[in-house]
């Protein structure tokens, strides 16, 4: 593996043929999305659709378009059997003879679309459990993150970058705008064990448990030895926040509110893929009690609390959380 190699070359040399076809199709689809997102103000794609999704959220035109693009390209791969996403209430069979399923957040950070801030596409690939030749079933998608076959995200920021893992570490490919090809730009991405950044919607602080409040106070307390106070950085798209923390170190938190157990983010197509990438890069991800990758999904749009990022920061956060529970 060498820097500068084309994504296609990487896939041919490193992924199983069937998985490779799926990943190449996905990347082609995301090139279209990248172009659309970069030119959003010039195309008739901004604004809402006047509809709500299964979760009762307002659907942006780009949420809907990107969902359709992913479905079209994954169908063309011939190896992707089925698809679930934030924008589809139920699973869709794309190729009855395919051997994989994909769970996706076609556009993460929708609220950032109109302000040209980073947004992205998140995906996780599973091996289907039902036999080839028939419609896909719930069990093909509702699998623990420990058996994820591949996962990653495309971030549409100041560059378009694909960060992914097929189970052997994490690498990144940058889209070259001159020839519209992805090239290997980030070899062996590892997340620093210690970070100096925390990412959370601090405006919700009054809704948080005392243990979490104490951790946030710890982050903001002056202590030269541990380089505190840490910096608070929060963009409002988990892709943007986690991508920064992955490269520079840090923790991203979307907790459950006081007295609740689930947070806002969706387990299947947000928490599991981002946790898979983070663990592959040497970091940690938990819902506060259990490793995210060991949670058994029970529904496509199920939500989870998440604490994800640098090992030491996640462990320190858990220390504060559980100290309060014991009292
Ligand atoms: P989506 O645009 O796919 O619905 O996801 C938005 C998510 C996530 O990306 C981000 O971290 C979070 O919502 C922000 O939520 P708050 O505005 O509540 O902080
Ligand atoms: Mn999202
Ligand atoms: Mn989304």
Classify 325 as helix, strand or coil: helix
Q: What integer is the mean pLDDT of 6-19?
A: 97
List the one residue out of 18, 31, 29 whose CA is nearest residue 182.
31
Q: pLDDT per residue over 146-166, tens digit each?
A: 999 999 999 999 999 999 999
User: CATH 3.30.540.10 region(s) of the chain?
Assistant: 7-186
pLDDT for the residue numbered 106 = 98
* Four-CA torsion 191, 264, 85, 100, nearest 10 degrees: 50
Cβ neighbours, 10 Å, residue 290: 11
- Ligand at minimal distance from the CA of 107 is 3
User: Given ligand 1 and candidates 33, 70, 111, which is best to mutate, with the most ligand atoms within 8 Å of its CB?
Assistant: 111
* 306-309/284-286 β-pairing: antiparallel
Q: What integer is the mean pLDDT of 91-114?
A: 96
User: Given ligand 1 and candidates 206, 235, 236, which is best to mutate, with the most ligand atoms within 8 Å of its CB?
Assistant: 236
CATH, domain range 7-186 = 3.30.540.10
Fold of 197-326: D-Maltodextrin-Binding Protein; domain 2 (3.40.190)
Classify 309 as helix, strand or coil: strand
pLDDT at 324 over 80: no
Q: pLDDT per residue over 186-223, tens digit each?
A: 999 999 999 999 999 999 999 999 999 999 999 999 99
User: CATH 3.40.190.80 region(s) of the chain?
Assistant: 197-326
């Amino acid at each position: 593996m060498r820097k500068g190699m084309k994504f296609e070359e990487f896939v041919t040399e490193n992924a199983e043929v069937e998985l490779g076809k799926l990943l190449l199709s996905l990347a082609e689809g995301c090139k279209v999305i990248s172009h659309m997102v970069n030119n959003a103000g010039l195309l008739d794609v901004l604004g809402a659709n006047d509809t709500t999704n299964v979760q009762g959220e307002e659907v942006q035109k780009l949420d809907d378009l990107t969902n359709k693009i992913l479905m079209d390209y994954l169908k063309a791969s011939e190896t992707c059997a089925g698809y679930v996403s934030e924008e589809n209430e139920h699973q869709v069979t794309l190729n009855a003879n395919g051997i994989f399923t994909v769970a996706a957040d076609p556009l993460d950070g929708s609220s950032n679309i109109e302000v040209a801030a980073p947004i992205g596409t998140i995906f996780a690939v599973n091996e289907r459990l039902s036999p080839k030749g028939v419609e896909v079933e719930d069990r093909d998608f509702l699998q623990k993150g420990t058996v994820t076959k591949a996962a990653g995200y495309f971030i549409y920021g100041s560059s378009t970058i694909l960060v992914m893992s097929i189970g052997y570490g994490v690498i990144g490919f940058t889209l070259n705008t001159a020839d519209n090809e992805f090239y290997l730009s980030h070899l062996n991405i590892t997340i620093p064990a210690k970070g100096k950044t925390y990412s959370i919607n601090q405006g919700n602080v009054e809704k948080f448990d005392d243990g979490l409040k104490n951790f946030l106070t710890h982050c903001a307390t002056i202590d030269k030895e541990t380089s505190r106070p840490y910096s608070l950085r929060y963009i409002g798209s988990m892709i943007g926040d986690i991508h920064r923390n992955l490269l520079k170190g840090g923790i991203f938190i979307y907790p459950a509110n006081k007295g609740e157990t689930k947070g806002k983010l969706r387990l299947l197509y947000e928490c599991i893929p981002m946790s898979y990438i983070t663990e592959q890069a040497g970091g940690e991800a938990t819902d506060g009690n259990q490793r995210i990758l060991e949670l058994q999904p029970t529904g496509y749009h199920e939500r989870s609390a998440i604490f994800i990022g640098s090992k030491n920061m996640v462990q320190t956060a858990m220390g504060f959380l559980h100290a309060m529970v014991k009292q």
